[in-house]
Amino acid sequence: MVTEKDVQHIAELADVGIRTEELGTFTHQFNAILEYFDILDRVEGSGQGERDLYNVLREDVVEPSLPQDEVLRNAPHTEDGFIKAPRVM
C-alpha cells in the first residue's frame, strides 16, 4: 500500500507537479495498479533479463549538425546563442 504522502513524494522526485485535490485519486489508482504488479512476485529467477547486448559506438569526430538558429528556434528564452534555464542556486 502506498499512502498519499508516498505519492506526493514520488511526484516531487519526478517533478510532475501534483495538486492536493488530485492526491486521493492518484493514490487509489496507484494502489490498484501496484496490486496488479504483485503478480511479478511469482516470476522465478533473477539476474540479467537481457542478453546478447553490445554497445554501438562511433568515432568521436565532429559531423555536420543543424545551424544554431534552427536549434534555438523552439526555446522560449535564449540569450547570446545560449538557452536560458531557471536558476539552480
Question: What is the binding site for other proteins (CB under 8 A)?
Answer: 2, 7, 10-19, 22, 26, 29-30, 32-34, 36-37, 39-51, 55-56, 58, 66, 70-71, 73-77, 83-88
d(CA 69, CA 47): 47
Q: Is 51 helix (H, G, I), strand (E, B) or coil?
A: coil
> Are the CB atoms for 30 and 7 separated by under 8 Å?
yes
Q: CB of 24: closest distance to other proteins in angstroms?
A: 13
Q: CB of 62: closest distance to other proteins in angstroms?
A: 16
Q: CB of 43: closest distance to other proteins in angstroms?
A: 5
User: Which residues make Cβ contacts (< 8 Å) with residue 4, sequence separation at least 6?
Assistant: 23, 24, 27
Whichever of 5 and 77 has its CB closer to other proteins, that residue is 77
